[in-house]
């Protein structure tokens, strides 16, 4: 029977994920400040979504650019769908914030003022604070329809103010914008305590309470928060390379700050005539007007002061552990030479990887250190260790991806710093992004032995900061088949186009072919009446070619479990996907690992690496995936997948309408997979004492 396959729209699917993030803010079992942080994450995610995805669709809808398969009409329809869904989610956020978070803070004896009206005992304080700490940084700018107006900066908070002349017979309205100076003053101001209560106030509310001091001689009519989001998706010509690419990226990054407006967010209580005046003055299109709350930029809530003793918002997140098999004096090289090693972040300490590099720096047998850089932390320990290696006389080669969105400036700065230290820098490949997260240590063998290489293949970046909040894994290995392929990969990054990989799966070389073969094998087993089973854990599933392959497998009886955190364009619960289940997990840490399992007639094949099944990852990037050859590590990853599929606390099914359907306990043992897996690893580590 022929089936007409269908797919979820990529960006509507992403909004379903972000909505799931918002639902964490509603979970009363979580510490209140963790719930507040999820509102911050939801808002920050949405801001980037508008700057990149919505900006792209707007460009297509206006005929300015073209995207694969997208027309002016389809882009316009999608933008309407996005606007409708975002409006629904913002209403839910407003409800959670005002009806659950604010009352929850009060229960902790924290009063978070939500307007400019304060208790009598605070009035003198906010007036004095305004005069001394805020007023010197304010610059009201008049705006007049038909005149040149001031430039509104991306994602900056402004107050739009309307004042009236004091002429009672014919008062004239004047309009101003005031940039909120929270680069000079904190967004949240702690007020004096009173009778056991702590008080916090938004800086913009303090300004609103003192507008009469800014506009003497006028009557204050009204004031409302506004902000804009600008297109941040800079277009880099992929034909450029080397220093030409560096100069182009420098210029393009500067233009991000003046990109086209993709949304104008305003306080939904603003009167229609005031909104019309602003829209006409700043030349905003009506479809760019997005209603928000009285307080915008709620991503700043991550900075909300915590004035109480920490027991009131106890942080019970798992703490990174050090492996007992690798104490500070032991050699990672000696261990990995005998047996592969897998680290799970953030449950295991990223310091083990730093120690791996540090050992290479001081090992006289180290010939060369090679590494890819996609996103690194500012003032990175990884980069500092590589610089120390170069200064110690080691040859160091680093591939730097200059086209990593929003990290271009940091990558440029670290590349130039490494170059000054004597590190060989390889810049982006024309037409491609390098997303692989790999490192290779080349060593001379002792006592005349042959060269012994040590490899590291990860699902996450070499970033000690994100390693504390992203759930990733990284494999250390001395397996010569893998390290030989890693060396070939670094030759590819240095310009060698023709290459053969025998063990690693590398996007644009053998990845797609091998994935198809693995799925086909499960299909053949199922056709023969044997067990066909696939488990795929990743961040995103969007490529329709690979989705079609999974649909085909489902039709033929292969059982498929997908653990997809974000975008999932595969639609479950259809005749052609009846054997496919989609699980989404959102919890304390960001699920980021890519782990693939194929049953293989009882002899499982397991892989981990950097790519999601997105078109960009599979066809337009260099990605690296390694098979897991060590039987103990393989079983560890299978156990992790099964724990995640059993999650009945933070795990939910994504249904055919993109709804997040929580699994629930059904009187079974409660399983919160991130915490259960941490205990699993902790118990395993303790047996190594």
Do 454 and 333 meet the contact criterion of CB atoms below 8 Å apart?
A: yes
DSSP state letters, 19-58: HHHHHHTT-TTS-HHHHHHHHHHHHHHHHHHIIIIIHHHH
| C-alpha closest to that of 645 among 590, 602, 583, 588 | 583
| CATH architecture, domain defined by 10-313 | 2-Layer Sandwich (3.30)
Do 609 and 626 meet the contact criterion of CB atoms below 8 Å apart?
A: yes
CATH number of 332-498: 3.30.870.10
Structure tokens given for 376? 């690194």
Structure tokens given for 486? 């890693």
Structure tokens given for 572? 């479950």
- Examine the residue annotation and report whether 521 is marked as an active-site residue of this protein: no
CATH of 511-686, one of 3.40.640.10, 3.30.70.1560, 3.30.870.10, 1.20.1250.20: 3.30.870.10
Residue ranges covered by each domain of the chain: 10-313, 332-498, 511-686
Do 74 and 46 meet the contact criterion of CB atoms below 8 Å apart?
A: no
Instruction: Provide the 10 A C-beta neighbour count for residue 667.
Output: 5
What residue ranges of the chain have pLDDT lower than 70? 1-3, 64-65, 67-68, 148, 233-257, 308-315, 328-329, 404-407, 446-451, 667, 688-689
**pTM, whole model, 2 decimals?**
0.93
Separation CA 599–CA 642 (nearest Å): 13
Do 439 and 490 meet the contact criterion of CB atoms below 8 Å apart?
A: no
Q: How far does CA 27 lie from the centroid of its chain?
A: 21
Structure tokens given for 684? 């395993």
pLDDT digits (tens, 9 = 90+) for 556-615: 999 999 999 999 999 999 999 999 999 999 999 999 999 999 999 999 999 999 999 999
Torsion over CA: 312, 27, 466, 236 (sign): negative
Distances (CA, A) of 487 to 343, 372, 440: 22, 12, 7
Q: Determine the pLDDT at residue 209.
A: 97
Number of C-alpha atoms within 13 angstroms, CB side, residue 94?
14
DSSP three-state, residue 597: strand
| C-alpha closest to that of 39 among 53, 27, 51, 49 | 27
Q: Determine the pLDDT at residue 230.
A: 87
Let me know if 450 is exposed, middle or buried by CB neighbors in 10 A (0-12, 13-18, 19+): exposed
Do 582 and 564 meet the contact criterion of CB atoms below 8 Å apart?
A: yes
254 contacts: CB under 8 Å, gap ≥ 6: none
Separation CA 280–CA 683 (nearest Å): 64
Q: How far does CA 290 lie from the centroid of its chain?
A: 23
Let me know if 74 is exposed, middle or buried by CB neighbors in 10 A (0-12, 13-18, 19+): middle
Q: Determine the pLDDT at residue 241.
A: 55
| C-alpha closest to that of 387 among 349, 426, 428, 358 | 358
- Given 57, 435, 592, 599, which residue is catalytic? 435
Q: Determine the pLDDT at residue 249.
A: 60
In CATH terms, are 332-498 and 511-686 the same topology? yes
Separation CA 590–CA 351 (nearest Å): 19
pLDDT digits (tens, 9 = 90+) for 429-444: 777 788 999 999 998 8
Q: How far does CA 570 lie from the centroid of its chain?
A: 21
Q: Determine the pLDDT at residue 328.
A: 64
Taking phi over 0 as left and psi of -120 to 50 as alpha, with beta for the rest, 409 belongs to alpha
Q: Determine the pLDDT at residue 405.
A: 67
């Amino acid at each position: 029977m022929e089936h007409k396959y269908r797919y979820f729209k990529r960006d509507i699917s992403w909004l379903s994920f972000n909505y799931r993030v918002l639902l964490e803010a509603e979970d009363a079992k979580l510490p209140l400040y963790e719930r507040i942080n999820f509102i911050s994450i939801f808002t920050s995610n949405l801001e980037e979504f508008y700057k990149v995805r919505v900006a792209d669709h707007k460009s297509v809808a206006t005929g300015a650019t073209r995207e694969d398969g997208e027309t002016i009409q389809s882009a316009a329809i999608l933008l309407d769908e996005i606007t409708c869904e975002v409006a629904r989610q913002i209403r839910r956020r407003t409800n959670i914030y005002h009806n659950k978070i604010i009352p929850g803070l009060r229960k902790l004896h924290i009063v978070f003022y939500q307007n400019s009206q304060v208790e009598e005992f605070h009035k003198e304080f906010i007036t004095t604070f305004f005069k001394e700490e805020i007023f010197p940084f304010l610059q009201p700018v008049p705006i007049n329809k038909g005149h040149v107006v001031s430039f509104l900066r991306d994602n900056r908070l402004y107050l739009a103010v309307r004042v009236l002349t004091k002429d009672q017979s014919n008062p004239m309205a004047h309009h101003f914008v005031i940039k909120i100076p929270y680069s000079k003053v904190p967004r949240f101001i702690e007020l004096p305590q009173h009778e056991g209560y702590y008080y916090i106030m938004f800086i913009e509310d303090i300004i609103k309470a003192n507008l009469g001091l800014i506009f003497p001689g006028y009557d204050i009519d009204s004031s409302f928060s506004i902000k804009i989001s600008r297109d941040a998706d800079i277009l880099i010509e992929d034909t450029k390379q080397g220093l030409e690419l560096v100069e182009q990226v420098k210029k393009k990054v500067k233009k991000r700050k003046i990109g086209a407006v993709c949304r104008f967010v305003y306080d939904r209580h603003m009167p229609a005539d005031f909104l019309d005046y602003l829209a006409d003055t700043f030349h905003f299109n009506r479809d760019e007007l997005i209603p928000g709350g009285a307080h915008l930029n709620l991503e700043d809530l991550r900075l909300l002061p915590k004035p109480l003793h920490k027991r009131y918002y106890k942080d019970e997140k798992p703490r990174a552990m050090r492996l007992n098999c690798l104490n500070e004096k032991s050699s990672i090289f000696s261990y990995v030479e005998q047996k592969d090693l897998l680290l799970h972040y953030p449950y295991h300490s990223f310091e083990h990887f730093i120690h791996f590099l540090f050992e290479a720096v001081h090992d006289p047998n180290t010939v060369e250190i090679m590494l890819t850089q996609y996103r690194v932390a500012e003032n990175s320990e990884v980069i500092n260790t590589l610089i120390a290696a170069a200064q110690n006389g080691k040859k160091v080669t680093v591939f730097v991806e200059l086209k990593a969105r929003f990290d271009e400036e940091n990558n440029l700065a670290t590349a130039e710093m490494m170059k000054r230290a004597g590190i060989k820098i390889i810049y982006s490949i024309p037409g491609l992004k390098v997303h692989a997260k790999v490192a290779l240590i080349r060593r001379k063998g002792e006592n005349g032995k042959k060269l012994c290489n040590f490899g590291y293949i990860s699902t996450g970046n070499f970033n000690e900061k994100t390693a504390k909040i992203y759930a990733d894994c990284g494999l250390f290995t001395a397996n010569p088949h893998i390290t030989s392929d890693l060396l070939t990969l670094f030759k590819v990054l240095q310009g060698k186009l023709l290459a053969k990989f025998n063990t690693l799966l590398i996007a644009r070389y053998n990845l797609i072919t091998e994935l198809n073969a693995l799925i086909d094998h499960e299909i053949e087993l199922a056709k023969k009446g044997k067990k066909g089973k696939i488990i795929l854990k990743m961040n995103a599933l969007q490529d329709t070619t690979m989705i079609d392959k999974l649909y085909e497998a489902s039709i033929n009886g292969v059982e498929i479990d997908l653990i997809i955190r974000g975008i999932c364009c595969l639609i479950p619960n259809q005749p052609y996907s009846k054997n496919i289940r989609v699980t989404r997990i959102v919890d304390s840490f960001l699920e980021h690992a890519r782990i693939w399992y194929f049953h293989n007639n009882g002899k499982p094949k397991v892989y981990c690496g950097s790519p999601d099944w997105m078109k960009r990852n599979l066809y337009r990037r260099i990605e690296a995936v390694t098979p897991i050859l060590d039987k103990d590590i393989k079983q560890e990853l299978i156990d992790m997948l099964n724990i995640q599929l059993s999650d009945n606390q933070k795990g939910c099914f994504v249904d055919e309408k993109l709804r997040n359907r929580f699994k629930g306990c059904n009187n079974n043992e409660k399983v919160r997979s991130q915490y259960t897996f941490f205990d699993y690893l902790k118990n395993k580590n303790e047996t190594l004492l």
